[in-house]
């Protein structure tokens, strides 16, 4: 059975662009999942010196943000002032997460973005009043199978280093250079992002772990990291897209991160968010969670199979939550402190 990502792309993009979006999905059947994300109920425990906050669900990797990673000065200050640990690891899944502080931003079409589509407009002010944690990378196949036991990903084969060396040599590389390049590739694809997921399957993972999908506004706020541009860097430096992916997903965290330290927020795999897809309102919003009902859920970020046009911070795709109309969807997780 073949699935499609319904992107409502303008006819001007052409049939070749639409063809790239028609990507296969797993045939694994899934049980219906609740549409409400699990809510963390673990209370905060404030240390007596009131200098930091500990989290019962996570181990602290770094308390204070690294200015070499969090390069946006405003975010750096607000993360530090929150007293919440900046970099943590979820105890259940081993997923590394970074703190995103409250703030305000313009959501939707970036100023001067000639590639913006109808459902990215109008741009509108969004205020997020609460901090949240977000996965530093997309959920990997290793992290997924630790919880779910079965790996639905298409790109889950063990790397054949001998075949890679042979191919590189046939293309003119010396044996020494081919062996050196092959040695940099992972033995297995465990560190590739998990894909072929429906929104419902993501919800099953979240129900087992106490994590959740980010709302669409949380996703874009973290992706922008204070930037008002269509991308937070040169597209091929920050994303795996159809121009550089060689037709498959790639190891997470190999491209340049954004100003908050998040990797692959553009490219590699599409990322499911919590929201139903709907057109934007021009009204200012506070902690939006999207419309209460709909037929299709929002995916963000673009992916390895699509061109740079989709690897923009405001680009919105959407698909049926049961999987009957999506492609190789992946995700990253969120959690309230």
pLDDT in tens, the chain (337 residues): 333 333 333 323 333 332 333 333 333 333 333 343 443 434 343 333 346 788 999 999 999 999 999 999 999 999 999 999 999 999 999 999 999 999 999 999 999 999 999 999 999 999 999 999 999 999 999 999 999 999 999 988 665 667 778 878 888 889 998 888 777 765 568 899 999 999 999 999 999 999 999 999 999 999 999 999 999 999 999 999 999 998 899 999 999 999 999 999 999 999 999 999 999 999 999 999 999 999 999 999 999 999 999 999 999 999 999 987 655 699 999 999 9
- Taking each helix axis from N to C end, the angle separating 161-170 and 175-183, rounded to the nearest 10 degrees, works out to 140
Residue 5 domain-assigned? no
Query: Could you give the number of structural domains in the chain?
Result: 2
Same domain, 92 and 39: yes
Can you name the residues that pair with 317 across neighbouring β-strands? 299
Same domain, 327 and 288: yes
Can you name the residues that pair with 330 across neighbouring β-strands? 271
Give the separation between CA 290 and CA 66, rounded to whole angstroms.
33
Q: 78 lies in which domain range?
A: 11-152+192-335
Global pTM?
0.79
Same domain, 172 and 148: no
Same domain, 163 and 287: no
Same domain, 15 and 143: yes
Residue at which a domain ends, from 138, 173, 188: 188
Residue 306 domain-assigned? yes
Same domain, 101 and 25: yes
Same domain, 71 and 184: no
In the chain, at which residue ranges do the beta strands (DSSP E only) sit? 45-46, 53-54, 58-62, 87-90, 96-100, 103-107, 124-128, 132-135, 270-276, 285-286, 297-300, 316-319, 329-330, 334-335
């Amino acid at each position: 059975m073949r699935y499609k990502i319904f992107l409502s792309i303008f006819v001007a993009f052409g049939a070749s662009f639409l063809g790239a979006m028609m990507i296969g999905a797993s045939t694994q059947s899934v049980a219906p999942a609740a549409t409400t994300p699990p809510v963390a109920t673990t209370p905060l425990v404030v240390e007596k010196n009131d200098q930091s906050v500990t989290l019962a669900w996570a181990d602290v990797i770094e308390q204070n943000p690294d200015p070499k990673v969090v390069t946006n000065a405003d975010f750096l200050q607000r993360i530090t002032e929150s007293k919440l640990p900046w970099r943590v690891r979820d105890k259940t899944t081993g997923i590394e997460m970074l703190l995103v502080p409250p703030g305000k931003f313009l959501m939707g079409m970036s100023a001067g973005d000639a590639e913006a589509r109808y459902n990215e407009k109008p741009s509108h002010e969004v205020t997020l009043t609460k901090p949240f944690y977000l996965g530093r990378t997309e959920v990997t196949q290793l992290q997924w199978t630790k919880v779910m036991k079965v790996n639905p990903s298409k790109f889950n084969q063990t790397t054949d280093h001998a075949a890679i060396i042979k191919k590189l040599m046939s293309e003119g590389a010396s044996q020494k250079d081919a062996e050196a390049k092959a040695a940099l590739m992972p033995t297995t694809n465990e560190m590739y992002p998990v894909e072929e997921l429906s929104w419902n399957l993501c919800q099953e993972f979240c129900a087992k772990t106490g994590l959740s999908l980010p709302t669409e506004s949380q996703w874009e706020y973290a992706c922008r990291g204070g930037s008002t541009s269509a991308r937070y860097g040169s597209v091929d430096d920050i994303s795996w897209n159809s121009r550089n992916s060689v037709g498959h997903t790639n190891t997470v965290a190999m491209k340049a991160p954004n100003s908050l330290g998040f990797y692959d927020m553009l490219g590699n795999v599409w990322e499911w968010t919590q929201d139903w897809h709907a057109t934007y309102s021009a009204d200012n919003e506070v902690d939006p969670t999207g419309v209460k009902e709909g037929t299709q859920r929002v995916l963000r970020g673009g992916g390895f199979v699509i061109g740079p046009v989709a690897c923009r911070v405001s680009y919105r795709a959407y698909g049926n939550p049961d999987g009957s109309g999506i492609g190789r969807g992946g995700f990253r997780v969120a959690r309230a402190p």
